[in-house]
A and B are shown apart, each in its own frame.
Chain A
């Protein structure tokens, strides 16, 4: 039966954090996949639009913007108990740092 794979619809009267908690109970990978979705949405969407408009894409820049977007959402999640685990928050910070390293090392060479 298909219905056996579905979970109960979250109770929306408790607010969006209650919905997130109930979704996490049913699908534990909800948080990391949501953060990955935000990162890829900004990264691929931004670079693709820039490619379409300007003919080139600044991938390091969009990776930094995408990772910072995911970091801000993960920080908001960290204010509520049970939505994000510490290791996911740390992974988001580390990915942001790596993207920043890529960004700063990618800039144009100077005269000296």
Chain B
């Protein structure tokens, strides 16, 4: 794993987001299979398997933790400060990079919610998708703000 993510931190965002999408994929596949079985009163339902349901609930819990962790990461990056001597040519804080960030995330939220409500309705079981996807955007912004501010990728 150390060889995959090298010393400069390259690939951190790639592998982090890859695993997030793996988790979303698991939730989507299992959630769809359960919904399909319930809608059609299927005699064979994967919800009858306790081990798969445990995995489903655990992965959903992991995804729900991702959103507050991302918010904390983004806020700490924006509120932190460095001495200008530590990296010459940079500003003390990263506040100037956050301009427009909230607006961009809201645009993404409004865009997704158009199709989301039409496809999934008001059902909250798939709401983890919207939350996690917006958190991924914030996560990407956090890394790029760090790189634009400090001039290198996070270690």
Contact = CB atoms under 8 A, between A and B. Distances in A.
Contact of B22 (A79, A86, A93, A100): A100
B22 A110 contact: no
Main secondary structure of the interface of B (DSSP, over half): helix
A110 B18 CA distance: 11
Interface string A55-88: 0000000000000000100010111110011100
A80 B11 CA distance: 46
B52 A90 contact: yes
Contacts of B128: none
Contact of B10 (A85, A100, A112): A112
Interface residues of A, number: 26
Contact of B48 (A75, A77, A86): A86
Q: How large is the interface on B (under 10, 10 to 19, 20 to 34, 35 or more residues)?
A: 20 to 34
Contacts of A90: 46, 49, 52
A101 interface: yes
A87 B124 CA distance: 29
Contacts, number: 80
B14 A100 contact: no
A2 interface: no
Contacts of A34: none
B57 to A, nearest CB: 15
A100 B144 CA distance: 27
Contacts of A86: 44-46, 48-49
B20 to A, nearest CB: 9
A107 B25 CA distance: 15
Given A71-B33, A100-B22, A79 B40 contact: yes
Interface of A: 71, 75, 77-81, 84-86, 89-90, 93-94, 96-97, 100-101, 104-105, 107-112
29 contacts: A75-B37, A78-B37, A78-B43, A79-B42, A81-B44, A86-B44, A86-B46, A89-B33, A90-B46, A90-B49, A93-B30, A93-B33, A93-B46, A94-B52, A97-B22, A97-B25, A97-B29, A100-B29, A101-B22, A104-B21, A104-B22, A104-B25, A105-B22, A108-B14, A110-B17, A112-B11, A112-B13, A112-B14, A112-B153
Given A79-B41, A90-B49, 7 more contacts: A84-B44, A89-B33, A93-B52, A94-B52, A111-B10, A112-B10, A112-B144
